[in-house]
Amino acid sequence: MVFPAVFLFAALSVKQDQAALRTSCDSASDVIANLPAGTPVEIRFRLADGSDCFKIAASVDGKPAVGYVSSSVLSDLERFERERTRAGSAQAITALNPVAVQSKRAMARTGDKDLDRASQLLEANQPAQALELLESATKRHRNDPNVFVLAGLAAYRSDQLRAALDYWKQSLDLVPDQALARVYEHVRKEAEADQGGEKIYGMHIALRYEGQALPTEAARAVLALLEEDFSRISGQLGCSSEERIIAIVQTRDSYLRSTGAAEWSGGLYDGRIHIAWTEGNEVGPQARRALAHEMVHACLFSIPSGSGPWPAWMHEGLAQKLSGDTLPAATREQLRRLAQAHRVPRLEELRHGWSGLSIENARLAYNMALAAADALYDNYANYGIRNILNNPDTLARITADLDKKLGF
């Protein structure tokens, strides 16, 4: 399963009266409108060309307007950066989940031990080893579309997009399937848009990047940070790395085109870490947070979770906490009051995808997840977070206990 991220528009406001909304970042470009102080705006994206310019959407005299402003006219940019690094899209592989589950069930009935082992390896986040078994299995099961579905999934998660497309095309030729066809089309566009051909390797991470987005020295710094993050996070959560975790760093344009992510997205995990690079030649604090955030998702996916995946609140809560996010005291108190008034969902209700939530409820969900992660560390430090993750059957009881700690 791929973590189903929530897409958040970061709602900011104008702090400078009569701020110019322009057609481009050039100070000599045409003015679309002058925005009064206090005007709410929605961030579409932040340019990474050194101009510190934002594309925004706002309402002017009751009419929508989209244009560019300098960061100096906007309030609360720190919150925007936090939300930007949290947002992402993994719709392609999420859409494939039901197909993959059905394929695994069908393959289990074949009695082929290699297919059973390949399924186990995929569950254990070891797609390259699974692919080796599935490559030979496709020759023994030439008329079984399910084998080709999983071979394609293993190839995709091994960062072999062309091979994935080839396997999925063979599956579709055998038995047409609308869900798989949508995934095929998405990954075809990803393969066309992906320009990242440079690769460097660490002990646990394989970094693929676009040279125009990330100079070689910066790429080495990113790899070093990812290796540090893996060591730190695996020490706390107990994740393993039988295979190198794949991380892909791209220009923002390539990232948006290849992943299909929303414009305000800064990173996602779909079996591979994707990062939209906006930091220039330096690895700044926002990039560090984004890298650590996605590493937590990768770590959790390598830990067996029992009969179902780790819940979304745990994924997001731990990703926020271990990437350095903190919950302000005022926000924590607001959550407590809302919980007592039964105006926020319990953690169990935040187990699955959050994409159906309103923007405000999604923000509450992220805050609740971080509060739950804080409570998890505060109340189970002696027992150990690793012990909880090693015993997923205890999670239902612990979730109920955390709800009480949060004020329910």
**120 and 147, same domain (yes or no):** yes
What is the percent of the chain with per-residue pLDDT over 90, rounded to a whole number? 38
**110 and 63, same domain (yes or no):** no
Residue 207 lies in a domain: yes
Alpha carbons 307 and 405: distance in angstroms, whole number: 26
Mean of per-residue pLDDT scores for the chain: 83
Tens of pLDDT, residue by residue over 378-394, are 988 777 899 999 999 99
Which helix (H) or strand (E) covers residue 200, if one does? strand 198-201
pLDDT value of residue 93: 55
Q: What is the CATH number of the domain that holds 105?
A: 1.25.40.10
Q: Work out the pLDDT band at 82, boundaries 50, 70, 90.
A: low
Check whether 138 has a pLDDT greater than 70: yes
pLDDT value of residue 8: 36
Check whether 198 has a pLDDT greater than 80: yes
Tens of pLDDT, residue by residue over 335-347, are 889 888 888 888 9
Q: What is the CATH number of the domain that holds 278?
A: 3.40.30.160
Alpha carbons 20 and 32: distance in angstroms, whole number: 7
Domain that holds residue 369: 312-405
136 versus 51: which is more confidently predicted?
Answer: 136
328 versus 282: which is more confidently predicted?
Answer: 328
Among candidate residues 243, 270, 301, the one where a domain is terminated = 301
Q: Work out the pLDDT band at 363, boundaries 50, 70, 90.
A: confident
Q: Which residues contact 391 (CB under 8 A, 6 or more apart)?
A: none
Tens of pLDDT, residue by residue over 51-78, are 578 888 888 888 889 888 988 888 876 6
Nearest to 222 by CA among 317, 297, 295, 301: 295
Residue 4 lies in a domain: no
- Please provide the distance, in angstroms rounded to a whole number, between the alpha carbons at the two ends of the chain: 30
Evaluated on CA atoms 266, 272, 273, 274, the torsion sign reads negative
pLDDT value of residue 51: 57
Cβ(183)–Cβ(150) below 8 Å: no
Tens of pLDDT, residue by residue over 149-183, are 999 999 998 999 999 999 999 999 999 998 899 88
Residue 5 lies in a domain: no
Which helix (H) or strand (E) covers residue 406, if one does? none
pLDDT value of residue 141: 92
**102 and 158, same domain (yes or no):** yes
pLDDT value of residue 5: 35
Check whether 48 has a pLDDT greater than 60: no
161 versus 103: which is more confidently predicted?
Answer: 161
Among candidate residues 28, 63, 85, the one where a domain is terminated = 85
Residues facing residue 275 across a β-bridge: 249, 267
**217 and 261, same domain (yes or no):** yes
Check whether 349 has a pLDDT greater than 90: no
Joined tokens for residue 352: 């699955």
pLDDT value of residue 253: 80
pLDDT value of residue 83: 53
Joined tokens for residue 102: 């059905």
Cβ(323)–Cβ(368) below 8 Å: no
Residue 37 lies in a domain: yes
